[in-house]
Amino acid sequence: MARAPGPSVRLRLTLSYAGFLVVAGTLLLAVVWVFLLRYVPEVIRSGQGAPGPDLGVGGPAEFVPNRSDLQRAFAPKAAGMLAVVLVLGLLGGWVLAGRMLAPLTRITQATRLAAGGSLSHRVRLPGRSDEFRELADSFDAMLARLEGQVAEQRRFAANASHELRTPLAITQTLLEVARRDPPPDPGELLDRLHAVNARAIDLTEALLVLSRADQGAFTPEPVDLSLLVEEAAETLLPLAEARGVALDTAGDVTPAVGSPALLLQLATNLLHNAVVHNLPKHGTVRVRTSAGPGTAVLTVENTGDPVSPRLVPTLTEPFQRGTERVRTDAAGVGLGLAIVASITRVHDGSLSIVPRPEGGLRVAVQLSAGSDR
């Protein structure tokens, strides 16, 4: 928004300092006049209407200054001193205002660099803590968070475009092959196209869920986490039975505060991830909910292949699964734990992923039972 030019803050502070000094000097001179000069009598000398006092016998009268004499001597000196005070106030105020506003100048320069796209720049204001340094530190923290979010979004967009490109390329290839050499049984082609299209739809829906979770735009509501887990378990029971995985759920009433839709998505993703990455047959998924002092905890353990501890930090990255990137023929779309981490983050919770010594993972989500959002 265009603004009309105005006086700088430095100039206004300088004028304020100088004006304050002049007012203080004027008040000081007024005090001198009121409490000192008014006690000096106004003596009328000889030749000015009445004879003056004769202080000597037979000699000339001694000169005694009266109030008018002191006024004539005091007023020019006082005016000159006020002028000196004004000049010193302007010069000193200009220098002091410049030094006081120097941190603000650095913050302004950093703001302009950030507006130009340079999020890696930091103010890093030295010195002891004060209002300007608190502002600079908060600005640096904001830049660091923005830089991390922008980098994450760019990385995520690159991964998402790669993953979405694959099913589209497969679809195009199948159609081109069918055009050159029409298959005798179109049903097989349709089944393959349906499977590829279904995966693209699942991936798109997962991306939308992750985007909504990252925004954190929801109204917190009281929920029972155990009921959400039961609903997720009922939804995934057919998938678990088809894979030969047993679902073991238990837990008392577990009150929490948050978005029911997002927390249901969190529970569903945790259980789905535990089922599809379990042992091929006779695996187990154990789900527990518990309530603590002001907290609600959801724990999901699954059997499966051993997972290296160094790979655990990568499991919440989009399109990561265990030791390799998700392929188009793998179960799921590689966003399960990424969505869980995002939903946990916007609920101000904590996510813990620990490899089990006998194989598989133990994932624990701790949420607040009463939120200040």
> pLDDT tens, 135-184?
888 888 888 888 877 877 776 677 667 667 767 777 888 888 888 888 77
The Cα–Cα gap between 344 and 200 comes to: 25
Question: Does residue 164 form part of some domain?
Answer: no
Note the pTM of the prediction, 2 decimals: 0.55
Fill in the amino acid letter for 345. R
Q: End of a domain among 114, 138, 162?
A: 138
Q: What is the CATH number of the domain that holds 279?
A: 3.30.565.10
Widest distance between CA atoms in the chain:
152
246 - beta bridge partners?
Answer: 284
The Cα–Cα gap between 373 and 367 comes to: 13
Question: Does residue 247 form part of some domain?
Answer: yes
Average pLDDT score over residue span 19-38 = 81
What's the pLDDT at 297?
A: 94
Q: End of a domain among 138, 166, 197?
A: 138
What's the pLDDT at 85?
A: 86
Question: Does residue 371 form part of some domain?
Answer: yes
Average pLDDT score over residue span 274-282 = 78
Give 109-124 pLDDT, tens digit per residue. 888 888 887 888 888 8
Query: Does 233 share its domain with 363?
Result: yes
Closest CA to 285 of 296, 274, 273: 274
Give 56-82 pLDDT, tens digit per residue. 444 455 666 677 777 777 778 888 888
What is the domain extent for residue 303?
219-373
Hunting for tokens 């999901």 — which residue is that? 300
Query: Does 132 share its domain with 238?
Result: no
Question: Does residue 50 form part of some domain?
Answer: no
What's the pLDDT at 222?
A: 92
